[in-house]
Amino acid sequence: MKFRKYVAIALLSLIALPAFAQDFIAGIPRNETLIIQGTPQQNADWFNVWAPGGGAAANLNGLQQLTTDTLWFINPEGGKDAWQNALASEPPSYNAEFTEMTVKLRKGIFWSDGVEFTSDDVVYTVQTQIDHPGMAWSAPFTVNVASIENPDPQTVVFHLKKPNSRFHTLFTVRWNAAWIMPKHVFEKAADPLSFNNNPPVSLGPYQLQSYDKGGNWTIWKLRDDWQRTSIGLAAAQPPEVKYVVYRAAGNPEARVIEQRNHNLDVINDMAPEGMFSIMRDSKSTASWLKGFPFAHPDPTLPSVLFNTKKAPFDNKDVRWALALLIDIREVALGSYRGAANIAALATPPTGSAPDDYYAPMQDWLTNFELDTGSRKIKPYDPNISAQIANMVRGQWADQIPTDPAKLQRTFGFGWWKKDVEAATELLQKAGFKKSGRQWVKPDGTPFAIRLQVEGDAIPTLARAGTVIAQQWTQAGIATKVDVAGPTNGQRLSTGDFEAAIYWSIETWGGHPDLSFFLDSYHSEFIKPVGQIQPPRNLQRWQDPRLDQIIERNRSIAFDSPDVAKLGQDFLKLAVEEMPMIPLMAYNKFAPLDTTYWTNYPSADNPYSASGPNWSNIRYMVVGLKANPDAPKP
């Protein structure tokens, strides 16, 4: 699409924007302000990141990025300095049986109201969430913690109910983690589940200045005592960003206009056409990759998630049939205009995963056999990613690699062949029948699917849902795209869906251990449909073999050489059972405006994540440099 079309569409969409130009930062110096794309808040008064807040989205208003803190961070981009001590002064210490973990805390850290952070806050955080089911981390704490003690203000000792060498990961941020609660604030609240925590006290370098009651923007200001935070203690220089604004910025087309007008420094995600257009035309825009596909490859795996507690999606033959009715080439072109990194395994093909999993498992995938009930087939095609590359080579000829290894890094490895005949056999095996051109379930009712997508917030995945719905409908399964909008997360967590385009798999990025998502897949965390499912097993997949893999992983060290082997065992089981259909890595089109700020992270300088909803963005915010050529206030 030509840029002038985007201009026309965006001008219309600007009518619905909550604020024009710089009205939302009136009185704040633009050259001291970083403006980030957030999302409209349904409950703007809610700042309790530890409890559900009636539609509040703390991950998209700056709360968890700028004010919360926990024990450790891992840079999702990897590298030798990926591990970062935050509130803890050193990595965790376990006993030989992994039944006890000791944490040493930093001295000299204070909450924004002047109260010192101590081990009392950590103990209170864990015990309060155990005592109040429904809080964000109550389930994993309840399952793991037998008791907790703090012999002094800088020491916490966790006694675990059973061996778990991954217990520290609950307090280790890759995207988020168990944030530490301010004991002196919450202990005065009658109910921590209904307490709105407004205004929030901050443990990070920024604190709340103001917010729009309508939920359209939130403004954070650098603390006067920012040095008394975990980031401040490690900083060599003061942050140059004095104010951070998270603001709603309209639909994907409107975001392009807002950034071109320099009213939006950081975009979370946008449509590929907008990204391609702005990278071709703008001289003030930076991106993660200098060339095609420009996008930031998150260690996140968009997939077709099935609610395995609802028939007929509890039948793996049905799930496999739906996978074989998908042409991933059409999905890649329709969602990302070819700029997709496809994935057949249940881990994103980013970071170290190509070396740890994808390359070593190619022979297994190629020889994998699927029993359709009528015959055995080998459904894997190792050449599909190369076919996608050839489809876009005409447009991006000089930027599409020819080396097979580089092609795999950009476009992924193989995927499943579209095979209508095999899908037909699998559905018949499951008791389905054809009535004319439409499939009918064993109970005689039409086989129809409600395929949930979030919508404009993630345009690439919304488009993927549209393409897949069309393919299933053409195959005789009437599929309707259900745009959930801001209710998407709540509906997914309570099981109010049949199938959805989203993710339930996220990895550390530069480390082969899969515990970031895998530990939460244990059956001990499964909740009935209607209750909130703890992150991240949204499909509520339950299997004794899965539990055995998770339990073995918990019994070995985080850096054990056996980690990758257990990871492969999980990936093989996920292929066999297909509880979700992995589609691709989450390539985020996130352009960065350099008019006011420079030194954004990139593939060449991956010191931090750049996504606005990543908690690691706090390292980017304090690492930015003011552009000396910026417009004068």
CB atoms within 10 A of CB 443: 8
Q: How far is Cα 559 from Cα 511, in angstroms, rounded to an integer?
A: 9
Q: Is the pLDDT of residue 19 over 60?
A: no
Nearest alpha-carbon partner for 69 in 113, 121, 120: 121
Identify the H or E element spanning 587: strand 586-588
Q: Is the pLDDT of residue 2 over 50?
A: no
CB atoms within 10 A of CB 526: 16
Q: What is the average per-residue pLDDT within 344-371?
A: 94
Q: How far is Cα 285 from Cα 343, in angstroms, rounded to an integer?
A: 29
Segment 437-467, tens digit of pLDDT: 999 999 999 999 999 999 988 889 999 999 9
* E strand map for 273-405: 285-286, 296-298, 303-306, 370-371, 376-377, 380-381
Report pLDDT for 57.
56
pTM of the model: 0.81
- Looking at the DSSP assignment, which residues form a beta bridge with residue 93? 102
Give the SS3 label for residue 420. Answer: helix
Report pLDDT for 58.
58
CB atoms within 10 A of CB 14: 16
Nearest alpha-carbon partner for 388 in 368, 415, 361: 415
Q: Is the pLDDT of residue 364 over 90?
A: yes
**Where does residue 239 rank: exposed (0-12), middle (13-18), buried (19+ CB within 10 A)?**
buried
Report pLDDT for 588.
87
CB 430 within 8 A of CB 312: yes
Report pLDDT for 383.
94
* E strand map for 253-306: 285-286, 296-298, 303-306
Q: How far is Cα 344 from Cα 571, in angstroms, rounded to an integer?
A: 10
Segment 63-99, tens digit of pLDDT: 999 999 999 998 888 777 888 999 999 999 999 999 9
CB atoms within 10 A of CB 596: 21
- Non-local CB neighbours of 161 within 8 Å, separated by 6+ positions: 143, 144, 145, 146
Report pLDDT for 55.
53
Segment 318-338, tens digit of pLDDT: 999 999 999 999 999 999 999
- Looking at the DSSP assignment, which residues form a beta bridge with residue 205? none
Find the DSSP H helices in 294-434: 316-324, 328-336, 353, 362-367, 384-392, 404-411, 420-429
CB atoms within 10 A of CB 368: 17
Q: How confident is the model at residue 286 (pLDDT cuts 50, 70, 90)?
A: very high
Q: Which of 4-13, 337-346, 476-485, 578-587 comes out lowest in average pLDDT? A: 4-13
- Looking at the DSSP assignment, which residues form a beta bridge with residue 529? 531
Mean pLDDT, rounded, of the chain: 92
Q: Is the pLDDT of residue 20 over 60?
A: no
Nearest alpha-carbon partner for 519 in 504, 500, 530: 504
CATH value of 296-587 in 3.10.105.10, 2.60.40.1170, 3.40.50.2300, 3.40.718.10: 3.10.105.10
Report pLDDT for 236.
87
Q: How confident is the model at residue 4 (pLDDT cuts 50, 70, 90)?
A: very low
Q: How confident is the model at residue 403 (pLDDT cuts 50, 70, 90)?
A: confident
Segment 89-128, tens digit of pLDDT: 999 999 999 999 999 999 999 999 999 999 999 999 999 9
Report pLDDT for 26.
74
Phi, psi of 34 (to 5 degrees): -100, 125
- Non-local CB neighbours of 361 within 8 Å, separated by 6+ positions: 345, 568, 571, 572
- Looking at the DSSP assignment, which residues form a beta bridge with residue 88? 105
Tokens read off for 283: 């001289």
Q: Is the pLDDT of residue 27 over 90?
A: no
Q: How confident is the model at residue 5 (pLDDT cuts 50, 70, 90)?
A: very low
Q: Is the pLDDT of residue 436 over 80?
A: yes
Q: What is the average per-residue pLDDT within 21-49?
A: 87
Segment 156-213, tens digit of pLDDT: 999 999 999 999 999 999 888 999 999 999 999 999 999 999 999 999 999 999 999 9
Report pLDDT for 18.
38
Q: What is the average per-residue pLDDT within 249-259?
A: 88
Phi, psi of 32 (to 5 degrees): -115, 5
Report pLDDT for 367.
98
Report pLDDT for 9.
34
Q: Which of 368-382, 417-431, 547-561 comes out lowest in average pLDDT? A: 547-561
Q: Is the pLDDT of residue 245 over 80?
A: yes
Q: Is the pLDDT of residue 13 over 50?
A: no
User: How much of the chain exceeds pLDDT 90, in percent?
Assistant: 75
Report pLDDT for 193.
96
